[in-house]
Amino acid sequence: MTSHAEFGERTPGSEVAKVFGDHIRGKTILVTGVSPKGIGASTALALASQQPAMLILASRTPSKVDEVGRQILAEHPTTRLEIVPLDLGSQQSVRAAATSIAQLTPHLDLLINNAGVVVTSRHATPEGIEQQFGTNHIGPFLLTNLLLPLLRAAARAPSAVPGATRVVSLSSAGHRLSPIRFSDYNFAPREVPPEEDHFRPLAGAFAKCTPDGYNGIVTYAQSKTANILFTLSLQRGLAGEGITAYSLHPGSIETELSRNQDEELNAQFSKVALYWKTVDEGCSTTLVAATDPALNDINGLYLVDCQFKDPAPHASDPVSAERLWKLSEELVGQKFDFTATA
Ligand SMILES: NC(=O)c1ccc[n+]([C@@H]2O[C@H](COP(=O)([O-])OP(=O)(O)OC[C@H]3O[C@@H](n4cnc5c(N)ncnc54)[C@H](OP(=O)(O)O)[C@@H]3O)[C@@H](O)[C@H]2O)c1
């Protein structure tokens, strides 16, 4: 249970931040993926309104994140704001960003893995990983693990409240459209066992493939399932260390996420979205997941409209979570064993 059952679809994030202001003030907070029209920007603005000790924005396009930075400083001039370049689609960039962040602060109270991308044609990261899986899951997997020493330092501080140190990862309701295709995570596409294949039942624009057989809906859905399974692994691995983790669907918000979608695909999304949130409403679930003290004790995995909701069974299966963790370690070439690095 969250502490505010009345928070829902239309609750503005700025209001959530005010209600939980005591749990933002004095905290060191990192938000990824911050561009003027997106959820990252509204999240950062809401957090800045409650005087965090330091707000770090890690993002890909300097001109965009700088614009949000200027807006934050105009509205909240006393904010200690830091901007770090981060391309989650490049493991080299993720490692460089983690090093820069560790130079800015020895501890991190809140990590908000907000950044995400949607593509509708085949691209790969420099490491040869399908772009959405690489950017939306592998990048945040690596970043979070590299920043775990900072999160642990925050959780071990004498003043720390157990469970208030958090990792929050933005997934999507779209995760329901695909489990992890362990036999074909790059979407070659290859034949996969039935339990890995939700592709066949898709219809209309969702089912369309490019001439080289790529389907961006399935690969986005897979990456968003990965966000929830990763959160499950963090919850299990970090239990007892005072660090909690949550995933969420922010709602349907008109941002630049759809920049690569064609009209047919946009029309199909419009049919499934019952209500389009403002960007302020679009950050409220993130803020509940990050700051509600009722979530210091883990009592759920995934939130929608500021409340807990069950994710698809394929996104909450501990065996798949463990398999994904091992695959992710292979793809970043580094092991992250909770006990070994504690
Ligand atoms: N909007 C929705 O309806 C909706 C629904 C469900 C889930 N979500 C999730 O919400 C999150 C925020 O999305 P949004 O709607 O705010 O989309 P957005 O406006 O496109 O913002 C996404 C942010 O992620 C950044 N980003 C993209 N690729 C990146 C990379 N390789 N490295 C670092 N940053 C990168 C973008 O930077 P640039 O602008 O510089 O490219 C941008 O700042 C995503 O995780 C998305 O999956 C959104």
| Residue-wise DSSP of 260-276 | G--HHHHHHHHHH-S-E
Q: What is the pLDDT of residues 41-60, one digit of tens each?
A: 999 999 999 999 999 999 99
State the average pLDDT over residues 250-271.
84
Split at pLDDT 50, 70, 90, the class of 262 is confident
Confidence at residue 279, expressed as pLDDT on a 0 to 100 scale: 97
Cα–Cα–Cα angle for 294, 239, 302, rounded to 5 degrees: 50
% of residues, the chain, pLDDT over 70: 98
Residues with CB under 6 A from ligand 1: 33-35, 37-40, 59-61, 64, 86-89, 114-117, 135, 170, 172, 249-250, 252-253, 255-257
Q: What is the pLDDT of residues 168-216, one digit of tens each?
A: 999 999 999 999 999 999 999 889 998 998 776 788 888 888 888 899 9
Domain 13-333 adopts which CATH fold? Rossmann fold (3.40.50)
State the average pLDDT over residues 300-306.
98
> Do 16 and 291 touch, CB atoms closer than 8 A?
yes
Q: Which amino acid is located at 266 in the chain?
A: N
Ligand 1 pocket, mutate which of 35, 45, 95, 130 (most atoms under 8 A from CB): 35
Average pLDDT, the chain: 95
Residues paired with 55 in a beta bridge: 29, 81
Split at pLDDT 50, 70, 90, the class of 341 is very low
Confidence at residue 271, expressed as pLDDT on a 0 to 100 scale: 80
Whether pLDDT at 340 is above 60: no
Q: Is the sign of the CA dihedral 62, 18, 285, 239 positive or negative? A: positive
CA gap 130, 186 in Å, rounded: 5
Confidence at residue 339, expressed as pLDDT on a 0 to 100 scale: 64
Looking from the CA of residue 279, the nearest atom of ligand 1 is 16
For residue 274, report the distance from its CA to the centre of ligand 1, in Å: 21
Domain residue spans of the chain: 13-333
State the average pLDDT over residues 238-267.
90
The answer to whether 246 is a known catalytic residue is no
CA gap 235, 215 in Å, rounded: 31
3-state helix, strand, coil in the chain (%, to 5): 50, 15, 40
